[in-house]
Chains A and B, each alone.
Chain A
Amino acid sequence: MDFDARLLWESLPDLLRGAKVTVSLTIVSTLIGLVIGIIGGLCRVSRSRIARGLSFGYVLLFRGVPLLVTLLFLYYGLPAVGITLGSFAVAIIGLSITFGAFASEIVRAGIQSINIGQMRAARSLGMPYWMAMKEVVLPQALRRVLPPLTNEVLTLLKQTALVSVIATADLVRVGLEIMTWRANTFSPFAGVALIYLSLSLPLVGLVTFLERKYRVT
């Protein structure tokens, strides 16, 4: 074993710089993915056949294709047809659309779990469909799916590690670089693992808290 505490200590500043990228990717992709997820979830239960079909196809595609393949395709495949995107942009797009696909399914399930009587009551008061969705159904549905959505964010945080293959200087990438330069495997990756763990712990706590708060009684 080649563990070297001093080397770990020395590489911490670099690792934290990588962690910053990992956190930024997670936050930005979560926000974009949530917007996609809400729109996608609404489309999945829409009365429009086109909206249902498109959202179903989207979810099917990005739940079925590995994120790594999506990233490689965007990064290496698109330039072949003349679209060249920076690695950070590719990372954000890949993570957002994949997260969005999973979030769509969670939001759809949330909407469908709300008793149909809620929609009927809202419509009976003269509310148009979209107003009833926004004021009555969605607030309840989103509250109910907060725990599974947070779980999905936790998965996303760890999935960001994959962007290291497309030259994004995230936590894993920095760890790999230190490993190469210092010819030491164990120390930098112990740091990488510890940082991932300390980033995910608050999310784990949040899930537990939300589950307790919004427990379906």
Chain B
Amino acid sequence: MFSPADVRAISQPTIKICGLSKSYGSIEVLKDISLDVVPGEVVVIIGPSGAGKSTILSCVNHLEPYEKGEIWVEGQLYGPTRARGRRRAHAEAELNQLRRKIGIVFQAYNLFPHLTALENVTLAPIRVLKKPRADAVREGGEQLARVGLSQKADKYPAELSGGQQQRVAIARALAMQPKVMLFDEVTSALDPELVGEVLAVMKQLSNDGMTMMIVTHEMQFAREVADRIYFMDEGKIVESGTAQEIFDNPKQERTQAFLRRTRSL
């Protein structure tokens, strides 16, 4: 069994971000972010609201444009490139290809309300991957079973609790067989008693060896699943390290202050 540190030394990162910067108008939300995620690794990004954590995930998936930097996925460069000295957006078709490899789960679930749970899960495999319907339905059923919702396959999102909807959203992303899963504050909109069931599914995924990037405010959970933690504030990575290093022995004052505040809650 290799530790993530070993993997880091020998393999190509699943995601490699170099010098990423992004602004909304004159407000710089990401400043020179660099990090990478190796296969099987669980990277957790923590930090105060407005630090730019979620924006990183949106940029990795190219749901948000960015001005500077490079994002490599499995050794391939995506995003704006320079051609003849001019910056130009990446071709749509290639971004669609990229997004197949990256599953993302949103804070607001964003399930398709006009489709049942199973249809939510099978839509993209059928339409995007052109899978035969029967195969997609069988595999979709397996994904729903994986998140413990086989019984709810024929229910519409409005008939499900928040926690169940979020688990369907996870199954929907998994159905595309992504190389990496991004989780964008997926428990922040949930009632407290529903948080546990979603975190349990994520923990199971991490045990299964899924490569994950997680933005969360659940510190206890971060500590349990993270191979590596990044602490962000005001658009910058302040500090990174293992869960132990960050939680038990933070070096930066801002990290210490943030952790004190979250503990006193």
Question: Chain B interface: which of A32-40, A72-80, A131-139, A168-176?
Answer: A131-139
Contact residues of A between 119 and 165, Cβ < 8 Å to B = 120-129, 131, 135-136, 139-140, 143
Residues of B within 8 A of A125 (CB): 99-100, 123-124, 128, 172-173, 176
A117-B106, A120-B63 known; A127+B114 contact, CB < 8 A: no
How far is B93's CA from A16's CA once the two chains are assembled, in angstroms? 56
> Is B108 part of the contact surface with A, judged by Cβ < 8 Å?
yes
CB-nearest residue of chain B to A126: B100
Which of A117, A125, A129, A143 counts the most B-chain CB atoms under 10 A from its CB? Answer: A125
- The smallest C-beta distance from B100 to any residue of chain A, in angstroms, reads 4
Residues of B within 8 A of A129 (CB): 92
How far is B159's CA from A31's CA once the two chains are assembled, in angstroms? 34
Which single member of B100, B112, B124, B172 contacts A118 (CB below 8 Å)?
Answer: B112
**Chain A contact residues, majority secondary structure:** helix
Contact residues of B between 147 and 163, Cβ < 8 Å to A = 158
CB-nearest residue of chain B to A129: B92
A125-B176, A126-B176 known; A139+B114 contact, CB < 8 A: yes
Residues of B within 8 A of A122 (CB): 112, 124
How far is B106's CA from A135's CA once the two chains are assembled, in angstroms? 19
> Is B212 part of the contact surface with A, judged by Cβ < 8 Å?
no
Q: Is the CB of A117 within 8 A of B110?
A: yes
> Is B127 part of the contact surface with A, judged by Cβ < 8 Å?
yes
> Is B76 part of the contact surface with A, judged by Cβ < 8 Å?
no
Residues of A within 8 A of B102 (CB): 124
Which of A126, A129, A136 counts the most B-chain CB atoms under 10 A from its CB? Answer: A126
In the assembled complex, 26 residue pairs joining A and B whose CB atoms fall closer than 8 Å, in A order, are A115-B108, A117-B110, A120-B63, A121-B106, A121-B110, A121-B111, A121-B112, A123-B99, A124-B63, A124-B99, A124-B173, A125-B124, A125-B172, A125-B173, A126-B97, A126-B99, A127-B128, A128-B92, A128-B96, A135-B127, A136-B112, A136-B123, A139-B114, A140-B113, A140-B114, A217-B158
